[in-house]
Amino acid sequence: MGGTDPCAKTDELRWRPFALAAVLALVAAGLLVQVLPGAGLDREPRIRAVRAKADAFVSEAAPRANFGHARTLRVDASPTVRTYIRFNFDLSSVQVRHVSLLLYSRTRSRAGYQVRIAEGRWKERQINFVNAPRPLPRFVGSGPLRAQSWKAVDVTSLVAGLLSSVNLVLMTTSANDTRFASRETGLHGPRLVVETIPTETTTSTRTVAPPPPPGG
């Protein structure tokens, strides 16, 4: 969404204060995080929650309107409404275990939504239904949503290996308007939760030959 996220000094989120709700959402999705940042051994997984860099929805009912400033993201099947979310994070440079999309749902939905990759670039303050990039056919479903709750969806198979940024499209088969908190809301904005395994570090030791004995 437009403007500056009032809570963001960095794209990478500090887990407090929504950590408990986020972890519970991940657990409910069967994606339990092994450890939190700063804990454990060098080879244990580490968790990063990355804030959305841009988000907007587009509407068939207002095909040339831009909603890049709204505090709400939407999906609907009739008329068609889709949501676009971008995260700036290079997944090719890390060893990924899980990547989860974490959204705060404002409304309940039995059908939930589909997560797809956007084929092409878009700008938050310019995207509309006419110029929005096409969603790719492969998708991951969210399952049912509860109102006023976090929902974690495992998108590892969709996004692993993407370079520089992750551009997602949300859509639905339900004709009931489903709404989520946008990045304009700060702490309730979209997150990409990345569970990585740190690369092993090796320490080289130089062997120094002992000095020759005296008089030798």
Tens-digit pLDDT profile for the chain (216 aa)?
444 333 434 444 444 444 555 555 555 544 444 333 333 444 556 888 899 999 999 999 999 999 999 999 999 999 999 999 999 987 777 788 889 999 999 999 999 999 999 999 999 999 999 999 999 999 999 999 999 999 999 999 999 777 778 999 999 999 999 999 999 999 999 999 988 887 664 344 454 455 566 665
Distance CA 12, CA 49 (A): 6
Distance CA 102, CA 188 (A): 10
Rounded to two decimals, the pTM is 0.76
Distance CA 115, CA 155 (A): 8
Distance CA 1, CA 83 (A): 11
Distance CA 125, CA 142 (A): 27
Q: Which of 179, 192, 152 is nearest to 72 (CA)?
A: 179
Q: Write b or e for each residue in 136-149: b if 16 or more Cβ atoms lie within 10 A of its Cβ, otherwise e.
A: eeebbebeebeeee
Q: Of 2.60.120, 3.90.930, 3.30.200, 2.60.40, which CATH number belongs to 12-196?
A: 2.60.120
Instruction: List CB contacts of 35: < 8 A, sequence separation 6 or more.
Output: 44, 45, 46, 47
